[in-house]
Structure formats: C-alpha cells, structure tokens
Amino acid sequence: MKAKMARVSMWAVVGLLLLGLGSAGRAEAAESRIGVVNVTRVFNSYKKVKDIQERLKARFDARRRELQAKEKQMREFRDIIELDVRSGRDPKVDREVFKKMQQLQEMEFSLSDEFRKLRKDVEKFRMDEMKEVLKDIRAAIRTVGSELGFDLVMRAPEYDDKLEPIDAGEAAAAEGENPEAKDEAQSAMELVARFRENPVLFHGKDVDITEKVIARLNADPEKSGAAAPAPAPAPGQ
C-alpha cells in the first residue's frame, strides 16, 4: 500500500513538473515578438536604388544612343535598297544592288550583336548593384528588428484588403510604367495568386517596421550596412 502511494506521489510530482514546463513554454512563446516589413516599399524608397538608376543611365546611355544612330542609318540604307528594287533593279543581275544587300545583312548582324552585348552589360551591372542593395536592406531589417526587440521579422503583405498593390503607383513610376495598368487585376486567378502571395494576412500597426527600416537605410548607410556608391566609370570603360 505504501509502495502504491509512493508511485502515485511520484507521478503527481512528474505531472506538476511537466505542467510547469508547459506553462513556462507558453509564457516564453507569448513573450516572442514578431515584426513585419514591406520589402517592396523599402526597395522603392531606398535612395541607393535611385542612385543606381542614374549611374546606369550615365554609364550606358551614350553607348545606347550610338547604337540607335546606327540603327537609323541602317533603316535609311534599307529604304534606298527598296527604292532600287522597286525601280526595277534586280539584285540577281544588278551587282551594285546585290552588294548593297550584302552590306545591309552585315550591318544587321553587327548591330544585333552590339545590342545583345549592351543588354548583357546592362544586366550584369544591374545584377551586381541589386545584390548590394538587397544586402543593405537585409542588414537594415536585422538591425532595426534587433533594436526593437523582435525575435522574427516577416515580409508584410504587398496588397491591401482589396487586393490592390500597396504603393503600386510609386513602384510603377520608378519602373517607367503606367501605374493604372499595375492596379488592374487581369483575372480571378490573379486575385487568388495575389491573396496567396501575402505571407501575413493580418498584423498590428505597432509591429510594422517598414518606415524605420527606410529611415535607417537613407539616414545612416554605414550603420545599416549600406556602402557609399562608387563613382560611375566613364562611358565605354
């Protein structure tokens, strides 16, 4: 009988210990803080992104204009050949027209290759710069989140309750697109996709650190991890 009572007491103690551990776990979970940040708004508001666009233009615009001028000359040369052909000059028997057509083909091939190289160089420049931008944003989110005592920071919804893009106008303007076009849902499937893209369906205003991250990036780039932009090299280098 005493042995039975001892076993009952032992299990009672174990139960109390488990209950205490469970309560402690729930209390610890309740104390965890989760923040959110609208990454798109941070990206569009980061001054370094605008600087990159300006440096991109300064570095490649002269080269682009040069190719566009060559393209215009090529079109004018093509018009001359077409006039020759319409006037009855057959390239099969007219050696001069035949040579012009060969020259036009060489111009088209060369210009296409130059445009391809330009697009490749522009994309490499943008990719390298965007890597640094995203690194800066991640560092700023980590810093602000830690300072405010958040244990986890998640990506805030990119769409509002009506499933309209948040700050879509600013994003479209930055990309040179029509803001109204980005606001329109193309189909019911797109609406569903937008809903599914929202990683957080509800959050309180006091856990949104978006503006604080933007302020950190733009006011103190070194502290946020953002390095000052290097000067743009001269065109053609």
CB contact at 8 A, 224 and 217: yes
Q: Where are the beta strands (DSSP E) in 73-227?
A: 152-155
Does the structure show a pLDDT above 80 at 225? no
- Maximal CA-CA distance, the chain: 122
Q: Using CA atoms, how far apart are residues 127 and 36, in angstroms rounded to an integer?
A: 26
pLDDT of residue 160: 58
Q: Three-state SS for 175? A: coil
Output the pLDDT for position 191.
67
State mean pLDDT over 134-161: 86
Q: What is the pLDDT of residue 107?
A: 94
Separation CA 209–CA 148 (nearest Å): 9
Evaluate if residue 56 carries a pLDDT over 60: yes
Q: For residue 21, what are its two tokens?
A: 């551990």
pLDDT at 27: 47
State pLDDT tens for residues 152-210. Answer: 998 887 765 555 655 544 444 444 444 444 445 457 777 666 667 667 767 777 888 99
Quote the pLDDT of residue 233. Answer: 46
What's the rounded mean pLDDT across residues 67-92? 92
Say if residues 185 and 163 touch (Cβ distance below 8 Å). yes
Contact 40, 167 (CB under 8 A): yes
Contact 232, 59 (CB under 8 A): yes
For residues 167 and 159, give the distance between their C-alpha atoms in angstroms, rounded to a whole number.
9
Q: Tokens 């000067």, residue?
A: 231
